[in-house]
């Protein structure tokens, strides 16, 4: 998903949604695109809406917030008045308002429009924080439907919904069975991670700013490693490289591939501690002869697609550990089932498609860092991070 795609959608549609894994750069992407194109926007945070138990209240707060007022050039006096008004209004009980004159969302739209007459955007970021709230998702549905009601549409406001892990369209279709809402939303292609080349560019830039010397060949090797452990998720790339930079500093600002092991370990401890515990909790506790479950977890990190079924894992185990295959069924299905259970499941089971997916991409990174294959003994070994 590139800038151009986002922009063309943002211009044409009443509402669109942007989704992707956490840390992938969704917030970064819309801020950059909207600023570059001089499109005025305010960001309402769904985490706040969840705290306030009202999306409308959060939108109103954003519009009258002092910083926003200055940034968008609102009339301070008018904003102060409206702010006091919102403080008084019990926005949760919209029924008590005369909809034309006093409905808080309409007032907020009017205020926004009075300073910014051109097309403008309200971003609802971090949608995931309200996905489990029936009430707030219903409120969102109502707001989306109101956007093309002529009283609201007059204010020339579009909504951009941003969040993880999947599209809001799917939510409205499946959970609420609401085509009318889904029809109003245009979902932009998933914001995917950086590719190996982009990771390479970021590292190159960092190295040059820190004046660390590196040859092209070594840089390529390094980028490949960083890409493979971070899956190209922008935030993780930055975090990993920070750890690597400290290791290089300790080494007198000289890069050496042997420092990667140190960086892996530091990074795992700094940002993946919780993931590490989850992965560890799912490994075979005793050293059984084959430790099939560990093989399964190891192979899960080798799958190239997001969703997979037990036959994919079965096939990978046969390929990776050919010396351990029994004549009978290996029972991969039930192992995958176990990995999807408990208070901290590693996988999510998709009932309708009978497939699995890793619950958090960081678990994948963790598995890649922690487990390796002892080919001679056809076993999965856990790297010891003893600290
Ligand atoms: N294309 C990019 N190049 C370099 N750095 C990037 C890029 N995209 C994002 N980043 C950086 O990665 C980090 C995470 O980005 P961002 O906060 O936008 O992620 P997000 O998808 O909004 O995550 P969340 O769902 O957790 O809110 C930020 O520090 C951002 O500056
Ligand atoms: Mg974000």
Ligand 2 midpoint to CA 214 (Å): 33
Choose which residue among 6, 25, 196, 204 to substitute to test ligand 1 binding: the one with the highest number of ligand atoms within 8 A of its C-beta: 25
Give ion ligand 2 contacts, CB < 5 A. Answer: 27
Class of domain 3-187: alpha beta
Torsions phi, psi for 371 (to 5 deg)? -105, 135
Ligand 2 center–CA 97 separation, angstroms: 34
Q: DSSP string spanning 97-149?
A: S-HHHH-HHHHHHHHHHHH--S-EEEEEE-GGGTTT-HHHHHHHHHHHHHTTS
Tell whether ligand 1 has an atom less than 6 A from the beta carbon of residue 372: no
Please give the backbone phi and psi of residue 18, each rounded to the nearest 5 degrees, phi first.
Answer: -130, 125
pTM: 0.73
CB 100 within 8 A of CB 151: yes
Task: Show the tokens assigned to 5.
Answer: 């795609």
Q: Give the residue among 195, 252, 196 at the shortest CA–CA distance from 224.
A: 196
Per-residue pLDDT of the chain (387 residues; tens, 9 = 90+): 455 555 555 445 578 888 887 888 999 999 999 999 888 899 999 999 999 999 999 999 888 776 554 455 444 555 555 555 555 444 444 444 433 346 889 988 988 888 788 889 999 999 988 987 889 999 999 999 898 889 999 999 999 999 876 667 777 877 666 778 888 888 888 788 899 999 999 999 999 999 999 999 999 999 999 998 888 889 999 999 999 999 999 999 999 999 999 998 888 888 777 888 889 899 987 666 668 999 999 999 998 777 899 999 999 999 999 988 888 888 999 999 999 988 889 998 877 678 898 887 778 888 988 899 998 888 899 887 655
Please indicate whether residue 236, judged by its CB atom, sits closer than 6 Å to ligand 1.
no
Q: pLDDT tens for residues 141-191?
A: 999 989 888 999 999 999 999 987 666 777 787 766 677 888 888 888 878
| Domain 3-187 identical in fold to domain 274-382 | no
Provide CATH code, domain 274-382: 1.10.10
Distance (Å, whole) CA 296 – CA 307: 15
CB 23 less than 6 A from any atom of ligand 1: yes
Q: Contact 260/346 with Cβ under 8 angstroms?
A: no
Residue 211, CA distances (Å) to 15, 207, 246, 265, 286 in order: 45, 6, 14, 24, 48
Pocket test for ligand 1, best of 27, 36, 126 (most atoms within 8 A of CB): 27
Torsion (CA) 104, 179, 154, 189 in degrees, nearest 10: 100
DSSP helix/strand/coil, 20:
coil
Instruction: For residues 331 and 104, give the distance between their C-alpha atoms in angstroms, rounded to a whole number.
Output: 58
Domain definitions of the chain by residue range: 3-187, 196-271, 274-382
Show Cβ contacts of residue 88 under 8 Å, excluding neighbours closer than 6 positions. none
In the structure encoding, which two tokens stand for residue 327, read together? Answer: 């004549």
The closest residue, in CA terms, to atom 31 on ligand 1 is: 28
Is 235 near ligand 1, meaning CB less than 6 Å away? yes
The CB of 234 under 6 Å from ligand 1? The reply is yes
């Amino acid at each position: 998903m590139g800038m151009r795609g986002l922009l063309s959608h943002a211009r044409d549609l009443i509402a669109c949604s942007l989704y992707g894994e956490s840390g992938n750069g969704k917030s970064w992407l819309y801020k950059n695109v909207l600023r570059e194109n001089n499109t005025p926007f305010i960001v309402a945070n769904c985490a706040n809406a969840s705290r306030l138990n009202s999306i409308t209240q959060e939108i109103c707060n954003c519009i009258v917030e002092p910083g926003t007022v200055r940034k968008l050039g609102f009339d301070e006096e008018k904003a102060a008045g409206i702010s006091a008004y919102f403080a008084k209004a019990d926005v949760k009980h919209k029924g008590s308002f005369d909809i034309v004159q006093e409905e808080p969302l309409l007032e907020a739209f009017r205020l926004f429009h009075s300073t910014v007459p051109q097309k403008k955007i309200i971003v609802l970021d971090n949608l995931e924080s309200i996905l489990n709230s029936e009430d707030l998702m219903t409120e969102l549905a109502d707001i989306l439907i109101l956007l093309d009601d002529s009283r609201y549409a007059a204010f020339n406001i579009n909504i951009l919904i941003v969040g993880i892990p999947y599209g809001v369209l799917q939510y409205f279709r499946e959970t609420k069975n609401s085509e009318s809402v889904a029809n109003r939303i245009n979902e932009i292609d998933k914001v995917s991670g950086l590719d190996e080349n982009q990771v390479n560019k970021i590292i190159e830039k960092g190295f040059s700013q820190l004046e660390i010397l590196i040859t092209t060949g070594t840089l390529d090797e390094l980028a490949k490693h960083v890409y493979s452990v971070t899956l190209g998720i922008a935030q993780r790339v930055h975090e990993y490289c920070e750890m690597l930079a400290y290791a290089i500093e300790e080494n007198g600002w000289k890069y050496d591939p042997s420092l990667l092991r140190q960086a892996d370990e530091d990074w795992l401890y700094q940002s993946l501690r919780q993931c590490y515990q989850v992965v560890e909790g799912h490994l075979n506790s005793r050293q059984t002869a084959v430790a099939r479950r560990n093989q399964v977890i190891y192979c899960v990190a080798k799958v190239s697609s997001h969703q997979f079924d037990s036959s994919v894992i079965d096939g990978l185990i046969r390929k990776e550990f050919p010396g351990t295959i029994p004549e009978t069924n290996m029972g991969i299905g039930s192992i995958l089932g176990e990995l999807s259970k408990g208070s901290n499941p590693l996988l999510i089971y998709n009932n309708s498609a009978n497939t699995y997916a890793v619950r958090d991409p960081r678990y994948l990174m963790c598995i890649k860092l922690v487990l390796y294959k002892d080919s001679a003994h056809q076993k999965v070994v856990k790297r010891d991070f003893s600290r």
